[in-house]
Structure formats: C-alpha cells, structure tokens
Amino acid sequence: MIGFALKKMPPSRILLLVFVVAIFVGSFLLLLPAAVTPGNKIGYLTSIFTVTSAVCVTGLTVVDVSKVFSPFGQSVILFFIQLGGLGIMTFSSILFMMIGKRITYHEMKILKEDLNAENTGEIVQLVKRLVMIVFTIEIIGTIFLTLEFLKEMPFKKALLFGIFHSISAFCNAGFSLFTTGLEGYSGSVIINLTIALLIILGGIGFAVISSFISYYKTKKKRFNLSSKMVLRISTILTLGGMVLFFALEYRNPLTIGKMNFFHKIMASFFQSVTTRTAGFNTVPIGSLTPGTIFLFCVLMFIGASPGSTGGGIKTTTFGVIMVYVVGIVRGQEDIEISNRRITWQILNRALAILVISVAYVSTIILIMLMTDHLGFSETIFEVISAFGTVGLSMGVTADMNEFSRILIIITMLIGRVGPLTFALALGEQSKKKERKYPKENILIG
C-alpha cells in the first residue's frame, strides 16, 4: 500500500519526504547519550537543527560541534554530511546496486530530480561514476589535510580531522572541528588550497566533473553547454568575489588588514570560493565591513551549480537570466549562448526559481525581524546563508529564538532540495489546458 502510494507521488514530493525522514532519524541519533560529551545535554530542537544542517550540507550550528558532541556524535554528523552531499536517493541506489537490486524506472526519475540530470537513461552510469569521483577526491583531500594537521597533532587525531574536513569541504558543508573554523590556518597554503579545491570540485557539480573525465578519455574534445556555462560563471564569480573582497577588506585590521600581501590574496581567494556555498572561514565573519557583507549575501544567494553539493539559485540560473537581460537590451529575439539557442522553457524555469527564491527569502527575513531581536544585517545574512546552504554566520545563530531556529531549519531544507522542487512538491500537478485565451499587451517598465 505504501509503495503504491509512493509510486503515485511526483518525484519532487518523494525527494522532499526522503530528506524529512532522514532528518528525523538523524535527530534521534544525536539525542542518544553517547552522542554528546560528558556534562553536556542538547534538546530536540538543537538536535534537529544540527542534523538538518548536516543533511542539507549547510554548516550552521547553535552549539560548538567540537566541544558538545562526542566522537560518536561527530561521526553521526559526518555520515549525514556525506549522505546529504551525495544525495539521499543516490546513496540508497548505491546500496541497492551493492546487494544486486535493480533500480526501477520510478527510482531513476527520483534520482534524476535529486542529481538534476538531463535524462533518466544515463542515471545508473552517472551514479557509478559519481561514487568513484566522490571517494577518490575525498581520499586525496584527506591525505593532504592529514599531512598538514600532523604538524601539530598526533597521527590518529590528524587523520580524523583530515577525514572530517575533507568530506565537509567536498560536500560544501562547512562543518569544522575547530571552534573558530579555519581562522587558525589563514596562513597555511596547503590547508587553504586543499579546502578551496575540494569546495570548487564539490560546487561545480558531478555532471561537470564527469564531462571533464569524458573530455580527456574520449576523442570527442567538447564540453556540453551546461558544463561550459558552469565553468564560466563559477570563474567569473570566484575571481570577481576575490577582487572585491581584497579591495573592501584591504585596510580592515580585524580581517586581512594586518596580513602581508600574499596572505591577503590567499585569504581573499579562499573566502570568495567558500562564500558561495561551503561556509568555511579563515577571517572572522562578524568583523567584515558592510560592503563585504552585502557582497557575501549576493554570492551566497547565487550559490553553487546544478547537480552539486551546494545550494542557492545556482550559477546556471543566474547565467541564463543575465544572458536574457543582455539580449533584451541588445534587441535579440532569442536567448543565445555560445552559438546555441536556449529554449524559453529553460528561461521560464530560471525566472520561476529566482522569483520563488526572492519571495521566500524576503518573507522569512521579514518574519524574523518581527519576531526576533537580531539586528537587520545579521538577520539577512543568516537567512541567505541558510537558503544558500552556506553556513557562514555573523555569530548570531546561537542567539536566535526557537521560532527563528525552526524557520532556519525549513530554509536550509528548501535550499538543499531547491526552491522550485520544493514548490512543485507542495503544489498540485495541473493538467495541460486544451484551450488558449486571446493575447493582450500589458505596459511594463
């Protein structure tokens, strides 16, 4: 009976349901006495907030993960980070394939929604390749981080810290076992570059990484349009964010003002990379200038790329809308990118994502400003960080009241599954109308 009911559900609704179930299972695991250190105790809201942040690869926390949770609790958090990064349906499919169970067409449709893939025909091969890609990259990241942590930690602790931060970085989760994040490693080239590269690889999406592999393994030396657009927009946002951060914070003594020129460049690059989705920081976020806070809000709202471990409206959504706007200014009839025409359905989807996202984020900000005591900038920053599944905070997450925490939990979930997927999951699937009404113009602008 349950299986029949699930088959009648649209994939978007099943995907949302799976995330909710995973969050509740994880929250009960963190409530076990073994999950916290002696002398500490957490409530159910704190537990569900932490697990939601892990599954939605966000990184916002209301407690210090390094001090409140035991090794078992930290392992639970890490498991759900990996689960959220891979995608719950992807993780389930891996288990099915390991025991020899065949993935049904209905399950492929859900995977297509979860991975943001173009078609169902390549899902099984994509999942197999995805697993190899993820674990290979995370193992390499673990090796580099462990070697660096070994300089100040015993081997066992350095290895555990290396594994945790490698998975957290690649999954763009932003969870750290250091109380002040990575501020203590702002001068470490290895830590900065390794974490940044892991974030970039996790943030550009599995399809793009797969395209890179196919590009070098086959004679067909050509990227598809989606991969080209992801790489271009990601490069522009990363370099643009780095330059602006460097200029805005150059003389700020509380962030990079006292660093030498090389370290200023490195810190600027790192924060530009991590701000769009990962949430790690090598400078104190609460000490940023107002201009940088605004810049971070824009980058967090755009977020990562489709089919990646990050949130936000996505780079391609932003790119399609920008190309469309430029085309309108130039008087073009079609949306053209790299000598290709984009269908109007893609633009409609991009605009729907933008409008839904702006409306939702604005509503949550307004409600929190009315019901909580947080400042204006802090509230906006916190909500956009949750929506973009970034995890950066101006230090007010623990100060939010219970109602605000619930709103942030919902926001993290929406940011992870996608605003349009969430809207489709809650809405009814309307049938295509057979009749069309007459056209009429509306004056705009």
What's the pLDDT tens digit per position in 370-385?
Answer: 999 999 999 999 999 9
Most confident of 87-96, 208-217, 350-359: 350-359
The pLDDT score that the predictor gives to residue 361 is 95
Distances (CA, A) of 161 to 74, 155, 333: 11, 10, 54
Question: How large is the average pLDDT for residues 30-53?
Answer: 92
User: pLDDT band at 9, cuts 50/70/90?
Assistant: low
d(CA 202, CA 10): 27
Over residues 84-97, the pLDDT tens digits come to 877 655 655 554 45
Instruction: Give the orientation angle of helix 376-387 with respect to helix 290-302, to 10 degrees.
Output: 20
pLDDT of residue 212 exceeding 80, the answer is no
Residue type, 332: Q
pLDDT of residue 68 exceeding 90, the answer is yes
| Placement of tokens 């201009």 in the chain | 291
Instruction: Indicate the domain borders of the chain.
Output: 2-425
The pLDDT score that the predictor gives to residue 83 is 85
Least-confidence region, from 3-12, 33-42, 231-240, 367-376: 3-12
Question: How large is the average pLDDT for residues 428-441?
Answer: 64
Q: Please, is 64 exposed, middle or buried when counting C-beta atoms within 10 Å of its C-beta (0-12, 13-18, 19+)?
A: middle
Least-confidence region, from 179-183, 292-296, 320-324, 368-372: 179-183
The pLDDT score that the predictor gives to residue 204 is 84
User: pLDDT band at 159, cuts 50/70/90?
Assistant: very high
pLDDT of residue 176 exceeding 80, the answer is yes
Distances (CA, A) of 91 to 72, 83, 125, 213, 340: 21, 6, 14, 22, 35
The pLDDT score that the predictor gives to residue 220 is 59
Question: How large is the average pLDDT for residues 355-367?
Answer: 95
User: pLDDT band at 262, cuts 50/70/90?
Assistant: very high
User: pLDDT band at 261, cuts 50/70/90?
Assistant: very high
User: pLDDT band at 429, cuts 50/70/90?
Assistant: low
d(CA 430, CA 433): 9
d(CA 187, CA 320): 37
The pLDDT score that the predictor gives to residue 225 is 80
| Placement of tokens 């569900």 in the chain | 48
The three-state secondary structure class of 41 is: coil
Q: Which residue has the higher pLDDT, 168 or 212?
A: 168
For residue 337, report the phi and psi dihedrals to the nearest 5 degrees. -135, 125
Q: What is the mean pLDDT of the chain?
A: 83
> Percent of the chain beyond pLDDT 70?
81
User: pLDDT band at 3, cuts 50/70/90?
Assistant: very low
The pLDDT score that the predictor gives to residue 105 is 47
User: pLDDT band at 6, cuts 50/70/90?
Assistant: very low
| Placement of tokens 């555990």 in the chain | 160
Q: Which residue has the higher pLDDT, 159 or 336?
A: 159
